[in-house]
Amino acid sequence: MTITTMKNTARIAGFLYLLQIPLGVFGIMYLPKALMAGDDWQQTAGLMLAHEGLLRLSIFSAVLCALVTIATAYYIRKVLSPVNARYARAIWICTLVVTPISLLNELAHIGALLLLKSPLVLQAFSPQQVHALLSVLLQCHAYGMQLVGIFFGLWLLPMAYLVIKSTYIPRIIGYFLILTCIGYLADFTLFFLFPSVRVVISEYTWPGEVMMVGWLLTKGVRGEAFRKYMATSSDPLADPAQ
């Protein structure tokens, strides 16, 4: 792979990685929370019906984010394969696992919308029963997002290792990616084992991914360092053709 090709590939990876941020923040973090009124499920139901278009946009954004994640991992794999093809493949495998979970998880939001709009359901169940079912669906979605978070953390581990081993992406980014990974896994642990704890660790460990996005978009790779790395690399698992 030539330096120019590698730089272009890295910038595509950076653009796709950047695209995940607004899609994820808008579709997964901001809108679903904006349409929830804490434990007041009657008010939550009212908000969801009043802003059905926003809820549908949230679902669309979350689905698109999951698909973009696959493309992002594919191009990051191509950037880091020269270091170790097996570990680079692990990045992609993690996203192939997490994407169907993400897509299936959005069925909870679709189910909530169908529940609130179905005349048959509204005739068969009392408002209190409908609100109880709504609470179960939305809490299932919250648990599903934590399961997704496992793989959003794990895909950063091989990425961090390969960044640290490479010389054409700053090593410091790899160490921050490890910190970001720990944040995601800590959130999962706290959510399942200590549900009363409301601290979200990943809110404080995100700089690693932002640094990676920024570097890929602006620099791609260090051209001379990449040339020297390819000339001296003797890793039998390195795959320059990727």
Q: Which tens digit of pLDDT belongs to each residue from 7-59?
A: 999 999 999 999 998 898 888 777 778 888 878 888 999 999 999 999 999 99
Looking at the structure of the chain, the number of domains it has is 1
| 154 token code pair | 């794990």
Contact status, residue 14 vs residue 215, Cβ threshold 8 Å:
yes
Q: Which pLDDT score is estimated for 93? A: 92
What's this model's pTM, rounded to 2 decimal places?
A: 0.86
Is residue 238 included in any domain, yes or no? no
In angstroms, the CA 212 to CA 230 distance is 21
Structural domain including 197 reads: 3-223
| Each residue's pLDDT tens digit, 49-97 | 999 999 999 999 999 999 999 999 999 999 999 999 999 999 999 999 9
Instruction: Look at residue 99 and tell me if it is in a domain.
Output: yes
Tell me whether residue 10 is in a domain. Answer: yes
pLDDT, tens digit, 9 for 90 and up, residues 124-155: 889 899 999 999 999 999 899 999 999 989 99
Burial class (CB in 10 A: 0-12, 13-18, 19+), 80: buried
